Structure 1
Amino acid sequence: MSENTGGGFIRRMFANDIATDLAEGRVLELAEIYALDAVSDEERAIIDDFVKTAPEGPEFHERVRQARETLAAGFAPEEEPPAGLFDNILDRIAKDAPAAPASAPETPAVAGPAVDELAAARAKREERRSGGARRWIVGAAAAAAIAIGGIGVGSYVSAQNDPVNQVLQAQDVQKQSAAVPGGGTATISASSAKDSFVVLMDGVAPAPEGKVYQLWTLPKDGSAPVPQGTMDAQTLSKPAVVKGLSSASSVAITVEPAGGSKAPTTAPVLVVALSA
């Protein structure tokens, strides 16, 4: 998520480790993760130690309590069927089955497939009560926690898996900003570990009507620029992630016709050297 502070956007996201999340003030966002037992023993100990003295401690424990109560209220164990139900069903099958022709050899009164299906259903029910039930509980708890916590498990997982966040949170990320002619800046965040970089335009006016900005990587071997997508008025302020950092020497931005070009048709408005 992002917050406009007047001087640009501050992006709030989960870090790659619990300690960093706590240090950056995200203890309350971790409450539902904690309640679901979706943290390791080491992470749980770190959180426990933190909330002992944190001002958010009482609110953290309240959110954990709410998540667990929602889970308990939303899960009802499956009731056992009446004791004679299985035998009654078999008896009805036997009575309702059509009589065999007189010339046909005698066959068992109960149809095998029906018995097999009922037995399979009972086995499936028993499986749900063991390991399957636990998987269902975790899924239900995740949904409940998201409803309570606002951010919750879903956002935590999605933040970890988002390609943009993976680059921005990489330990080796290197950032550099360059002024864009006409106003605004382009910030390049590069991670050799992820072999990717993120381009974020801030305060840059949209390209002229019928035009778009287009990203290019300039290969280290001197070959032709490689198109890496376009940025129109709707996507200009959103981060763009580009793979292949190790093979690129620079990133360039040109102004191209709407839809983009296979090769640059104008001189770059910006060229930024990359390091990998």
Structure 2
Amino acid sequence: LVAARGRLMQELPAGGAMVSLLATEAEVTPLLTDGVDIAAVNGPRAVVVSGDEDAVLAVAAQVEKSTRLKVSHAFHSRRMDPMLDAFREVLSGLTFHEPALPVVSNVTGRMADELTSPDYWVRHVREAVRFHDGVTTLAAEGATRLLEVGPDAVLTNLAQDVVPDVIGTQRRDRAEDAALVDAVCRLHLTGTGPDWPVVFAGGRKVDLPTYPFRRDRHWEDAPILQAERSAAARAGGDAADPFWELVRDQDVTAVAATLGVTDEPSVAAVVPALAAWHERRQAGAAADGWRHR
């Protein structure tokens, strides 16, 4: 289907023109004349017209902003008509199957229900590409993020008018591998994480090193600090004891080394309880300190 479509299009006489217009479909439709068709509706104010060169350029001249597209033929216009019968003949010899996944049709802009019909694919060549309607349908069906798989991010920019999170996998001005990794990371940040074991095949998780806090004090002594110190003294003077700092940090290895114990699993089982007990003791001592002020 794809090969026949491309071959038959290329066999058509060259010529015609396609122009992108900054206008709505409703604004462009009254301007159409014989020899000009709407080839695409890509956004709320992004319409492409196609057909005979002079007629297309005359329509474009009536719109404030337009851009002529660099194409070999005037696609999705009546200049495609001479290939339609031959294309339908090719299609009649193919075997079609129902899609395994839901598909939004750019011919109708709605959920597709006729992809197994040769007539649908003939219309696909001749009629306008209703991309904007298709993206709107996707949003209505609950799509919250879109991924463009292709050589550039042209559709990404067009779809952002409807769905904010649209990610392109490639850009013509960036290296392929860097653009792909960037797309994977952006997907992760929008809540659609990739299968990381596949991304990092053969990799393994490692523990990150802990940060060495110095615990230096840089504020003045105030009455409240004096109360805390008095409370610590009544609690046995262990508030700043290095051992209890290790317990509070739940540094099992260091606690075990301090105690001279080699069975770290046993130490790990009691360190949380020790930390909780010490915290309660310090809180009680602090309360006593406030009562004696």
TM-score by length of 1: 0.21
Quick one: higher RCO (CA 8 Å, sep 6+), 1 or 2? Answer: 1
**Structure with greater helix percent:** 2
Higher strand share: 1
Larger Rg: 2
